[in-house]
Amino acid sequence: MKRKIIDFIIEKIIFLCGVLSIVFVVLIFCFLLKEGVSFFKDYDVFKFVFGKLWYPSSEPAQFGILALIVGSIYVTAGACLIAVPLGVAAALYISEIAPAGVRDVLKSCVELMAAVPSVVIGFVGMATLVPFVRELFDIPTGLTAFSGSIMLAFMAMPTIVTISEDAIRSVPWSYKEGALALGATRWQTIRRIVLKAAMPGIIAAIMLGIGRVIGETMAVMMITGNAAHIPSSIFEPVRTMTATIAAEMGETVRGGMHYKSLFAIGLVLFVITFSVNFIADLILGKKKRK
Amino acid sequence: MFKLSPKLSQKIFYALLFMATLLVITPAAIIIYIIIKNGASAITWEFLTSMPKDGMRGGGIFPAIVGTLCIVLCAISLTLPIGVCAAIYLNEYAKDNLLTRIIKLAIVNLAGVPSVVYGLFGLGIFVMFMNFGVSIIAGALTLSIMELPVIITTARGALSGVPHSFREASMSLGVSRWQTIRHIVLPNALPGILTGAILSIARISGETAPILFTAAAFYVPHMPTSIYDQVMALPYHLYIISTQIPNMPKNIIFGTALVLLMMVLSMSLIAIVARIYFRKTRKW
């Protein structure tokens, strides 16, 4: 009898822990929404999203985040241009071509890469890449969207490689055997059959990589120069949404307009990453059900 | 049109893919090399065990190391039990219904929330609403929520790796479900859960953005005495000395980066090696 009661209590605790994730997501959303909504009571949503000027501490204060959104897009797009082809190619090599022993080593390397803290990447970028970019392109500062994109590409790669690799490996053997039996070379099989069959998983991997880059904070804050204006090329300093929150939260008055505006940016970020992850999950889920 | 023979094009593309893989791996190796080369000279016993001096430009990083250990240990001891229980629920109890699907979606989305947004959330709920102030506990709670999805996912992987026959054998002897989980499933999944936990510890040791407004302080002249104290933290310290302090001696910054990197990489390496070892020696 006693055992049954203990079992019952423990199972209830386990259930509670199970639903806790939902509670946290809702809680995060509510807290962002609470501050965000009270900000939008005093500041027009349209002016917030499409305003070009971000002068949070001037009189009257301007809270237009268009430049920050454009900054985030520049850095993210640049990082993806580098990380996606390299990441997918590496995933193909690791899962289909590399011999078994090499594969384990490479996978461990990729996993170690994922562990390097973003503040360390930011610092190394500042110390090496930034002066290099300045001299190479002969521009006034190396703190640019371009430098940020390169460093962020390294951070997106582990995500893209690991998840694409899973997708590529889960392509059924019979597909490959079929193609090889028809006389296709291994590369033809990989390109025409494996890549196609794994495509939904690879797309999901790319989206998760994008999600990671959009949300990345410390490295972009240290490398991209933090100028809140709409850049005309990728060789200019930009400022992302994440960096704005991290850089300015320390100087705000708790509960003031500036403070609330940063929560509103957080809300925008949350909505973006939520949608990206949601879609990626749908793609991955659909594939699994097949 | 000029067309390559299939054999030749296979060779060319294999070489290209190999080069891409090298391009993915080498930058990380270069980063590690640069930090070791420039930072190794700064690492002395004194650097690791003394307080910063001369406005961070001299002395050591002892309080930052201690602060990071406090926050990380607090965070993992909060998140590990909850995460493992959640994984047990999902793997052993949950039926394939709407609730389970929503839980899984929530986990995916928790994993995708940007770290700085966790920082905002921690500031809003733990620092302000629950009035913990900027403190170890506020930072640890923030990090523990951030790490929850990772713990759940790895623990679930470990649990689902335990063969079904183990559970069936136990339950056919009349053992209850929880007893089966407690005495059969968990012990067999433990290696996987622990390696996941070590990887998580490594990851949160390096996180900066979530503790920016919830736990980290620019400089604290004494050691923390309770979980409601502010602390210095290694990643935040690295951020400060590399961006905010002019004329900072280069080797101290590289030394700090090296300590942080070694902490994170050695833990990850231990976890990775342990996982390979357990995979080879497991009983099924």
In a domain, B57, yes or no: yes
Mean pLDDT estimate for chain B: 90
- A30 contacts on B by Cβ (under 8 Å): none
Q: What is the DSSP-derived secondary structure letter of residue B55?
A: T
Cβ atoms of A160 and A89 closer than 8 Å: no
ipTM of this predicted structure: 0.90
Distance between B17 CA and the closest CA of chain A, angstroms: 5
In a domain, B5, yes or no: no
Pairing of strands A62-63, B52-53: unpaired
Q: Which residue of B has its CA nearest to A262?
A: B120
In a domain, B29, yes or no: no
Q: What is the DSSP-derived secondary structure letter of residue A138?
A: T
- B206 contacts on A by Cβ (under 8 Å): 115-120
Distance between A288 CA and the closest CA of chain B, angstroms: 14
Residue with tokens 């733990």: B126
Q: At what angle do helices B250-281 and A100-115 cross, to 10 degrees?
A: 140
Count CB-CB contacts under 10 A for residue B49: 11
- Minimum-distance CB partner of A211 among B21, B112, B125: B112
CATH number of the domain that residue B215 is part of? 1.10.3720.10
Mean pLDDT estimate for chain A: 89
For the CA atoms of A214, B111, B151, B71, what is the dihedral angle to 10 degrees? 60
Residue with tokens 């939902």: A22
pTM as predicted: 0.91
pLDDT at B280: 84
| Residue B98 touches chain A, beta carbons under 8 Å | no
Residues 36-75 of chain B whose Cβ lies under 8 A from any Cβ of chain A: none
- A189 contacts on B by Cβ (under 8 Å): none
- A208 contacts on B by Cβ (under 8 Å): 112
Inspect the interface and report whether the beta carbons of B25 and A109 lie closer than 8 Å. Answer: yes
Q: What percent of chain A has pLDDT over 70?
A: 98
What is the rounded distance in angstroms from the CA atom of residue A204 to the CA atom of residue B16?
24
Distance between B149 CA and the closest CA of chain A, angstroms: 8
Inspect the interface and report whether the beta carbons of B116 and A250 lie closer than 8 Å. Answer: no
Encode pLDDT of A20-67 as tens digits. Answer: 999 999 999 999 999 889 999 888 888 888 888 888 877 788 898 999
In a domain, B267, yes or no: yes
Task: Give 3-state DSSP helix, strand, coil % of chain B, rounded to 5.
Answer: 75, 0, 25
Residue B159, CB-side half-sphere exposure with 13 Å CA sphere: 22
Inspect the interface and report whether the beta carbons of B6 and A14 lie closer than 8 Å. Answer: no
A224: helix, coil or strand? coil
In a domain, B190, yes or no: yes
Query: What single-letter amino acid sits at A188?
Result: Q
In a domain, B127, yes or no: yes
Please give the tally of structural domains in chain B.
Answer: 1
Assign A284 a pLDDT band (cuts: 50, 70, 90).
Answer: confident
Inspect the interface and report whether the beta carbons of A116 and B28 lie closer than 8 Å. Answer: yes
In a domain, B191, yes or no: yes
Q: Which residue of A has its CA nearest to B149?
A: A21
Inspect the interface and report whether the beta carbons of A242 and B28 lie closer than 8 Å. Answer: no
Q: Is the peptide bond before A60 cis (omega within 30 degrees of 0)?
A: yes
Residue B53's domain comprises 45-281
Assign B7 a pLDDT band (cuts: 50, 70, 90).
Answer: confident
Instruction: Select from B145, B127, B144, B129 the least CA-distant residue to B214.
Output: B127
Encode pLDDT of A161-180 as tens digits. Answer: 999 998 999 899 899 899 99
B59: helix, coil or strand? strand
Which residues, other chains included, contact B123 with Cβ-Cβ below 8 Å and sequence gap of 6+? A249, B213, B214
Count CB-CB contacts under 10 A for residue B17: 23
- pLDDT higher than 80, residue A85: yes
Best B24, B35, B103, B154 residue to mutate vs chain A (most A CBs within 10 Å): B24
Residues 241-270 of chain B whose Cβ lies under 8 A from any Cβ of chain A: 242-243, 250, 253-254, 257, 260-261, 264-265, 268-269
Inspect the interface and report whether the beta carbons of B208 and A186 lie closer than 8 Å. Answer: no
Among the ranges A107-116, A274-283, B2-11, B143-152, which has the highest mean pLDDT value? B143-152
Q: What angle do CA B3, B8, B14 make, to 5 degrees?
A: 120
- B211 contacts on A by Cβ (under 8 Å): none
Distance between A196 CA and the closest CA of chain B, angstroms: 17
Q: What is the mean pLDDT of residues A111-139?
A: 91
What is the rounded distance in angstroms from the CA atom of residue B284 to the CA atom of residue B189?
12
CA A16 to chain centre: 30
- Minimum-distance CB partner of A17 among B23, B89, B99: B89
In a domain, B35, yes or no: no
Best B8, B34, B109, B251 residue to mutate vs chain A (most A CBs within 10 Å): B109
Q: What is the mean pLDDT of residues B28-44?
A: 91
Inspect the interface and report whether the beta carbons of A245 and B121 lie closer than 8 Å. Answer: no
Cβ atoms of B238 and B253 closer than 8 Å: yes
Encode pLDDT of B85-128 as tens digits. Answer: 999 999 999 988 899 999 999 998 998 899 999 999 999 999 98
Residues 121-150 of chain B whose Cβ lies under 8 A from any Cβ of chain A: 121, 123-125, 128-129, 145, 148-149
CA distances from B208 to A66, B95, B96, B186, B244 (A): 26, 38, 37, 33, 15
Q: What is the mean pLDDT of residues A258-287?
A: 88
Strands (E), chain A: 54-55, 62-63
Distance between B163 CA and the closest CA of chain A, angstroms: 20
Instruction: Select from A92, A87, A106, A95 the least CA-distant residue to A213.
Output: A87
Distance between B234 CA and the closest CA of chain A, angstroms: 10
- Minimum-distance CB partner of B23 among A86, A245, A276: A86
Encode pLDDT of A205-252 as tens digits. Answer: 999 899 889 999 999 999 998 888 888 888 889 999 999 999 998 888
Cβ atoms of A57 and A217 closer than 8 Å: no
Inspect the interface and report whether the beta carbons of A11 and B93 lie closer than 8 Å. Answer: yes
